[in-house]
Structure 1
Amino acid sequence: MCPQRSTSSAAAFKTGSAARHGSLRPPGGVVVGARAGPATDPTRTSRPERPSAALPRCSERRPLRWRAVCNLHQPLSDWPLHRSAERGNMKRSSIGPYLDLTLAMALVGSSVVAGKIITREFPVFLASGLRFGLAMPVLVLILLAKEKRLPVLVWRDYRVLFLQALTGVFLFSLFLLYGLRYTTSSESSIITSTTPGVTALLAALILGERLNRWKWAGVGLCVAGIAALQLGSGGEGGAEGTRGSDHLLGTVLILGAVVCESLFTILGKIMTAKLSPLAVSTVVVAFGFVLFLPQAAYEARSFSFSQASMAGWLSIVHYALAVTVLGFILWYRGVSKVSAATAAVFTGVLPVSALILSYFLLHEELRAAHGLGILLIFGGILCAARER
């Protein structure tokens, strides 16, 4: 190879490389490609600044880790890696809400046994006033200890929470007690067994929840199971011979109790999206105490508290602390993480818990229909827990 030609080729390569990198110095001393401005030194060769738009953008074809590093301007919750970990944590803890709902309804079922003891010794409204009057300060103390302050509410929040206490606490008890006076217990059992179905329908209408076939199957099995449990009890009690307008009134009142219980779940779902389950429980119990207070004070005037037995007082304490305080907190915590229709299916645990506790504590009879009802209810829970 000719040395002269080799030297010229090397010079051409350096010239092209320098031109590509913007560092070729023409005779005038101005750097080609450099930005003009007061900070530019004409005697210094520098690489031009690359505009921010020329930075490599993250592509879907690039590795997941690189995309997460490139998207530093996005919040952590938007990173794909974080979302993947979040989905994994949800799968690992998905059984938690179902356990909360199951335990909450099991505690509420124990109120049936406690209620039978309470109603033998206390008037209904006085017992309810004592229940909420004892539960309210306990919840306030727990709320202040855990959250350090009372919840900050606007006028709309007060209205929703008051409506929740009015329907799910006060009117539910009122409709159920007076409805049983004008209709048979068998008919009341059939009507109350529709609670999961009514809740699912109201959730679709009010909350816009979409019910898939598994949830519909869960609701149907739960309704059938509750009906089997109630009818298996033989339909004792109630106004067996009542017909006509009084019978229709009793049916309407029991149906009103079902709607109130459904609204209690749906309104709880709405409020737990903004407040903690503990805060919702505290405010609802406080409103419940205010609603029961006038009639409870009236019944207390003629009631002899010294005649109540130790079993009666312990039942009041259990009703207040276990059923109201712990049961409300668990229920709202579970409702906040699942759909209202799914939570409604777990109301079927209530009669199962009441039946089992009545058998062991009150020595009541178990029948074959009860076993069938229990199987149907737990089959419905398994279907409803299958979200997809």
Structure 2
Amino acid sequence: MNATTTRGALLAALACVLVGGSFTANSVLGDYPYAGGQFLRYALACLLLVPVAGKGAVGRLRALTSRQWARLALLAAVGMVGFNLAVIAAERTAEPAVPGVFVGCAPVAVAVLVPLLDGRRPQRVVLYGSLLVAVGAFTVQGWGRTDGTGIAFSVCALAGEVGFAVLAVPVLRPLGPRLLSATVCAVAALESAAAGLLVDGAGWLRRPDTVETAALLWQAVVVTVVGFVCWYVGMQRIGAERATLFSGLIPVAAACTAPLVGTGSYGPAQAAGSALVGLGVALGSGALRRAERKRAPRGRAFRGNGRRESRGVRVPETPE
């Protein structure tokens, strides 16, 4: 694994760990208006991202086509506002593990959809790795009580997680990670405000208390600004299929941080699931194959055409 792919993998992993750890912040925002909280989160994140969006940001935005703007609006609606709303709605009639299990299947869906949309076949090693990640995520979280409504909203959450990766692929190159993050945050803030006015009316936004303010700041600064940029930089370097493998770290990070605030425990099932996620990531990213090549004997290597090499020095063939 070269320096570029290693850095991309580490950034994608960091982004997913931050998202997993943010579940603690979500737990203290249960009484705050959903749309208002999303508006504050994404508006603040946009303001922080604009100064680091890079030179020529306005020109790059003007160069976008109407189709690309529509994709950005859909990315914000499905992968950000819609995803968070689906998770909250699912948890009203289902235990948190249920939407978590569905979201854990996102690597499988992305491993199939991204190459098909690009006109190529899915890579077997990535698909096998994503299946291991999905099984590991299920093992970490288990299965909880639910009903038909909870399952339906959990499927919507899965669609949102998949959309967050798939919809970003065509606009990542022209905008870059930082400008893309700033733009979708601005769009998501506008969409949240519109949804809040339609659903909650005048009560869609209120002044948060001290605990809610801290949670919103964590989500805006750490999870959104740092997490989004790391995620899209990682996706840019290793591709959407391999980057989404690291989403299996979301339930692992949530399980590791839950005991710190007394909302869960970390036991043998969580440890086994974490190991499966790690194995799936290593397999799908190609790290296992590269490790095997490094462990291969360097003294002599044989090629299929009969030539023999010794420590990089080619040895002439014996005449037949």
* CA deviation vs aligned residue, 1:220-251 (integer Å, no higher than 9, x gap): 110011000110xx63xx55xx4xxxx1x432
Aligned position for 2:55: 147
What is the letter of the counterpart of residue 243 of structure 2? A
Aligned residues: 284
Secondary structure at the residue paired with 1:173? helix
**How far does residue 303 in structure 1 lie from its aligned partner after superposition?**
7.5
Aligned position for 1:10: none
1:132 partner letter: Y
Residues 271-310 of structure 1: pairs in structure 2 closer than 5 A: 271-297=171-197, 299=200, 301-302=202-203, 305=206, 308-310=208-210
Alignment partner of 1:385 out of 261, 285, 297: 285
CA distance in 2, matches of 1:360, 1:181: 24
**Residue 158 of structure 2 corresponds to residue 258 of structure 1:** yes
| CA distance, structure 1, for counterparts of residue 51 and residue 154 of structure 2 | 36
Question: Which protein shows a greater Rg?
Answer: 1
Aligned residue in 1 for 2:41 = 131
With 187-196 and 335-344 compared, the bigger mean Cα shift is at 187-196
* Contact 1:107–1:327 (Cα < 8 Å) also in 2: yes
Residue 65 of structure 1 corresponds to: none
Q: Per the alignment, in what secondary structure is the counterpart of residue 366 of structure 1?
A: coil
Residues 24-66 of structure 1 show CA distances to partners (whole Å, capped at 9, x for unaligned) of xxxxxxxxxxxxxxxxxxxxxxxxxxxxxxxxxxxxxxxxxxx
Given that 1:126 and 1:299 are in contact with CA atoms closer than 8 Å, whether structure 2 keeps it comes out as no
Q: Mapping of 1:295-374 within 5 angstroms?
A: 295-297=195-197, 299=200, 301-302=202-203, 305=206, 308-362=208-262, 364-374=264-274
- Could you tell me whether the CA contact under 8 Å between 2:37 and 2:205 is conserved in 1? no
CA contact (8 A) 2:112 2:127 kept: no
Partner SS for 1:118: coil
Which stretches in structure 2 are left out of the alignment for 5+ residues?
290-320
User: Which structure 1 segments of 5+ residues have no match?
Assistant: 1-89
Q: How does 1:206-285 map to 2 (within 5 A)?
A: 206-231=117-142, 235=144, 239=146, 242=147, 247=148, 249-285=149-185
Q: Which amino acid aligns with 2:65?
A: V
Change (3 A) 1:209 1:333: farther
Q: TM-score, normalised by structure 2?
A: 0.80
CA separation of 1:333 and 1:170: change in aligned 2, threshold 3 A: same
SS at the partner of 1:147?
Answer: coil
Contact between 1:268 and 1:335, CA under 8 Å: does it hold in 2? Answer: no
In structure 1, what is the equivalent of residue 104 of structure 2?
A: 193
The residue type equivalent to 2:66 in the other structure is: W
Equivalent pair of 1:229/1:369 in contact (CA under 8 Å)? yes
Other-structure match for 1:42 = none
Distance 1:361 1:295 in 2: 32
Select the structure with the greater relative contact order (CA < 8 A; seq sep ≥ 6): 2
Which whole-Å CA distance do the structure 2 matches of 1:318 and 1:102 have between them? 18
1: CA distance between counterparts of 2:206 and 2:72? 32
Contact 2:129 2:283 in 1 (8 A): yes
User: What do residues 93-147 of structure 1 show as CA deviations (whole Å, max 9, x unaligned)?
Assistant: 320100110111111112101111222x41222211111121111111222xx32
Amino acid at match of 2:82: L
- Work out the CA distance in 1 between the residues paired with 2:201 and 2:46: 19
Using the alignment, how far apart are the partners of 1:250 and 1:380 within structure 2? 28
> SS of the counterpart of 2:16?
helix
Structure 1 match to 2:69: 158
- Normalising to structure 1: TM-score of the pair? 0.67
User: 8 Å contact 2:38–2:81 — kept in the other structure?
Assistant: no
Q: Which amino acid aligns with 1:384?
A: G
Aligned CA-pair RMSD:
2.4
User: How many Å apart are 1:368 and its aligned residue?
Assistant: 1.1
Indicate if the aligned counterparts of 2:8 and 2:238 stay in contact, CA closer than 8 A. Answer: yes
Distance 2:161 2:44 in 1: 23
Q: Does structure 1 conserve the Cα–Cα contact (< 8 Å) formed by 2:35 and 2:204?
A: no
Deviation at 1:190, TM superposition (A): 3.4
Please tell me the residue identity of whatever aligns with 2:229: I
Percent sequence identity over matched residues?
24
